[in-house]
Structure 1
Amino acid sequence: MQRKKLSPQARLSAEDSDLFRQSVTGARPLLQDKIAPVSKASKKKARPAINTPQNEQHLFFFSDGYEGFVSDGGSLSYVQPGDDPRLAGRLKRAEFQPQVVLDLHGLTQLQAKAELAGLLAYCQQQQFNCACVVHGKGLGILARKVPNWLIQHPNVRAFHTAPKSWGKHGALLLLLKINQPEFELRQ
């Protein structure tokens, strides 16, 4: 590396150089007080703990091998056998408003299954009867899996492709059974 040559105007005069030397006389070097840099924590998302006993209990209802629902490419619609057949139409017309929304974008099948099980357990705990699951369009993997998982769960009464305001073909509106808490009659 070459040293830069200073122009004649940029050079210090002898008087300025002497003044500088006088002002720094008696100065001593500073001790090293710098802290070595520490590597930052990784920004990777933490993997959810899927194999906990509570999650295993909720995942019990979902089998990946079950193919009970075949899409014809249009709107998805399902009503549990023995329930009111008009429920799917009511979901289609948005007569029920979801109280909670679950977005599955960017999740793997295993993560999506765990999140869906968690949503259904949460709805049961909070006594929510309507939910929206946004699975997205993408390659259609979750769009095919989510309906098959939902059919297997005993608390899912019906589902239908969500109206445009809730995601249209990339989402489902669910209608769920709510187990009413039993109140003991004390006399």
Structure 2
Amino acid sequence: MVDDNDDDAELFRSAVGPVRRIQAPAPPPTAPRPRPRAGMAERDDAAAREAFRHALDASLLEAGDALVYRSERLSPRAWQRLRRGEIAAQDELDLHGAGVREGEALLRAFIHDAHHRGLGCVRVIHGKGLHAGECVASSGVPVLKNLVDRLLRQRADVVAFHSAPASQGGTGAVLVLLAPPKRR
């Protein structure tokens, strides 16, 4: 018995002639690699936030206490000028009415932005915590004031800070000296 399929296949091959295999099409392009992130900086920032949340201890500031911090990088002359309020604030952030999480996010963004804009001195108004419900802990301590103190101490771009003179807000505001931005 003769198979018609064999005859058809033979007839087709003789009609087409010799064939060569074609190359497989190139695979579609892959998605571009993501831009590199500053992973260490992100982890350091997360670790600092976590340390801040767990660092509440007996050294909490009261409403009338001054915020004071000075890095070794700051000269005694510049420190005196900051304490006297002789350095003009180039920008200001008012945290009145902000909750703790919102205040923390606003302060981080404000300091980061001010540092990258090359500002030398900024003022942060945190209030004294005398008339606020959410801004005062059950122990009577001003929450935003302590938040500002602890957060500013952890930042590498903060050289020094001191409570503002009475004419600029007294112990309800703080003048912050920022390090100059690094040249790229």
- TM-score, normalised to structure 1, is 0.60
2:147 corresponds to which of 145, 148, 155:
145
- In the TM superposition, residue 59 of structure 1 has moved relative to its aligned partner by 5.2
1:173 corresponds to which of 160, 172, 175:
175
Superposed counterparts of 1:62-141, under 5 Å:
62=49, 63-67=52-56, 71=61, 73-138=64-129, 139=136, 140-141=142-143
What is the match of residue 160 of structure 2? Answer: 158
Q: Which runs of 5+ in 1 are unaligned?
A: 1-52, 183-187
Tell whether the 8 Å contact from 1:87 to 1:158 is kept in structure 2 after alignment: no
How many pairs does the alignment contain?
129
Moved over 6 A (4+): none
Residue 92 and residue 80 in structure 1: after superposition, are their counterparts in 2 closer, same or farther (change >3 A)? same
- In the TM superposition, residue 67 of structure 1 has moved relative to its aligned partner by 4.7
Superposed counterparts of 1:4-23, under 5 Å:
none
Q: Distance in 2 between matches of 1:180 and 1:154?
A: 12
Q: Distance in 2 between matches of 1:71 and 1:107?
A: 18
Aligned partner of residue 122 in structure 2, secondary structure: strand
- TM-score, normalised to structure 2, is 0.61
What is the match of residue 44 of structure 1? Answer: none
Q: Distance in 2 between matches of 1:95 and 1:59?
A: 31
Tell whether the 8 Å contact from 2:73 to 2:159 is kept in structure 1 after alignment: no
Q: Which runs of 5+ in 2 are unaligned?
A: 1-36, 130-135, 137-141
- Identity across aligned pairs (percent)? 31
Q: Deviations over 1:72-118 (max 9, x none)?
A: 75322110245334544321212211111000011111100100111
- Choose between structure 1 and 2: higher helix proportion: 2
Residue 154 and residue 67 in structure 1: after superposition, are their counterparts in 2 closer, same or farther (change >3 A)? farther
Tell whether the 8 Å contact from 1:133 to 1:172 is kept in structure 2 after alignment: yes
Tell whether the 8 Å contact from 1:135 to 1:171 is kept in structure 2 after alignment: yes
Q: Distance in 2 between matches of 1:70 and 1:84?
A: 27
